[in-house]
Amino acid sequence: MKASRIAVLITVFLIVFGVRLFLAFQTPEFNYDSYQELRQVEHIKETGRHISHDPLSYGGKDVGGSPFYSYILAAGTIFMPLDITLKVLPNAFISLLAVIIFFITLKITRKREVALFTAIISGFVPIIYETTLYNLSSLCLVIPLIFFCLHFFMSIKTSLPWFLVCFLALTVISPLAFVLILSLIFYLALAKSEGLRMSRSELEVVLFTTFFGLWLQFLIHKNTLLFHGSSVIWKNIPADMIGRFFSDLTVVESLVSIGVIPFVFGVYIIYRYIFKEKDRAMHLFAALAITLGLLLWMKLILLSTGLSILGIVLVILLGKFLQLFINYVQKTKVARYKNLFLGVIFTVFFITSIVPSVTIAQKQLVEDIPGQDEILALKWVESNSPEGTMVAELEEGYLVMAVAHRNTIINPDFLLTDNVAERISDVEEIFTGPHKTDALSLLQKYNASYIYMSPKTMEKYDIIGLPYADQCFPTVYDKGVKIYKVACRLEEGEG
């Protein structure tokens, strides 16, 4: 590789990484969902082992899922302090997308300018900012790994070992390896139906990845699969909440989440290469886009996750569109305005992708990141109250466990748990129910001794405090966040 190309690539990576880091360091905190990962990393750092049985979650339960990503983040803490590592590493991983998108697009289009343009675009897909900027989710590493695998798959004869390494890493980190497996199977079917000559090496690799990926997932998630069966796909989310995570895919939402330019031109390229032209590489990415579309439509993948991967696929397909567009314009009388057209496309991209990405980051800072008042309140709980169970809203469960180190009745990890819907309804009853005796009965059921009420909880239930608060529920902390102590017990009468 030429030195100039390396320099350009490093520059692109640094631009994307720099912007992300600047936004990420606007707050020292993470979003509510990240605090479980934070606990895992802290635990690995302290003990060298991950939490496999969590005594603070649901009164004590096994933790499902793969811990490998937590180990990778914990390994980073050898070189940097924990808070810096957790900001830098995930953002560095996801910024690698720009590098791999550059190589993929270069392979597809053979045009360096186009590859560079799409590499920059891939660093500013709004939905990726939403799912990864303040989040310690493994998506930060999984999404680049999927595209590394696809890059090596495109030249499988020479890149088999690299493909195997990336696929192994992807499979041990996340069940999203299934998305790649399904899309490769779909690609073979598509190629066969289009009459493209089937490459034997591709067929062999798809066969292997299918069986190996499946086997490894069964090994890693054995307990979870045996506990929930096939419903593990929906993460044991209660039926009335499932729509929040696996909601319907709409065109408007896709346009906003992915960006207008990649969405419109990417969809056009899928249409063109499915119905009009034959190209192996285009079929590969079209197969991934269609697989994701189907998974989203059938609600088999989280909406945010599906849209994040789909967004990057459409960016790659946009690269193909730009190549075709430049080739076409150069053959016409308006060839001299080529740069003007590209400028218009970039302006529209700036308005519909970069601006929304920054806006999303600002919005998340306000809505999804716990405020300092919440952190201070939970630290107060940790130092001023005995260990026990604390009632907190579902989304705040991880935060309570990570900062206050208190047991929670509910948190967003529904796997390997019974009666989730009942627990959610009980917590809601504690916050909103009018009767003190009902609340006391429920608090005794879970042996809870404190109630944590954040401004977010008050806003959610439209309350300013516990409706039945009296001397049985003294307010022990009231600085924006309210913390109530449970001071009474119900006594059973003889029946």
Q: Should residue 271 be labelled a site residue for other proteins when binding is judged by CB under 8 A?
A: no
Q: Which stretch binds other proteins (CB under 8 A): 218-226, 347-355, 375-383, 408-416?
A: 218-226
Q: Should residue 225 be labelled a site residue for other proteins when binding is judged by CB under 8 A?
A: yes
Q: Give whichever of 103 and 212 is closer to other proteins, judged by the CB atom.
A: 212
CA distance 257 to 263: 9
Shortest distance (Å) from residue 223 CB to other proteins: 10
Q: Should residue 214 be labelled a site residue for other proteins when binding is judged by CB under 8 A?
A: yes
Q: Which stretch binds other proteins (CB under 8 A): 11-19, 107-115, 225-233, 304-312?
A: 225-233
Q: Should residue 193 be labelled a site residue for other proteins when binding is judged by CB under 8 A?
A: no
- Tell me which of 212, 234, 346, 468 binds other proteins, using CB under 8 A: 212
Q: Should residue 495 be labelled a site residue for other proteins when binding is judged by CB under 8 A?
A: yes
- Tell me which of 21, 92, 160, 376 binds other proteins, using CB under 8 A: 160
- Tell me which of 6, 80, 219, 463 binds other proteins, using CB under 8 A: 219
Q: Are strands 407-408 and 389-391 parallel, antiparallel or unpaired?
A: parallel
Q: Should residue 447 be labelled a site residue for other proteins when binding is judged by CB under 8 A?
A: no
Q: Give whichever of 395 and 426 is closer to other proteins, judged by the CB atom.
A: 426
In the range 49-108, which residues lie near other proteins by CB under 8 A?
none
Shortest distance (Å) from residue 100 CB to other proteins: 23
Q: Should residue 491 be labelled a site residue for other proteins when binding is judged by CB under 8 A?
A: no
Q: Which stretch binds other proteins (CB under 8 A): 55-63, 140-148, 214-222, 432-440?
A: 214-222
Phi, psi of 219 (to 5 degrees): -65, -45
- Tell me which of 49, 53, 107, 222 binds other proteins, using CB under 8 A: 222
The burial of 210, by beta-carbon neighbours within 10 Å (0-12 exposed, 13-18 middle, 19 or more buried), is given as middle
Q: Should residue 207 be labelled a site residue for other proteins when binding is judged by CB under 8 A?
A: yes
CA distance 225 to 344: 50
Q: Which stretch binds other proteins (CB under 8 A): 110-118, 209-217, 268-276, 378-386?
A: 209-217
CA distance 144 to 69: 14
Q: Which stretch binds other proteins (CB under 8 A): 91-99, 221-229, 262-270, 274-282?
A: 221-229
Binding residues (CB under 8 A) for other proteins: these are: 157, 160, 200-201, 204-205, 207-208, 210-212, 214-215, 218-219, 222, 225-227, 229-230, 418-419, 445, 492, 495
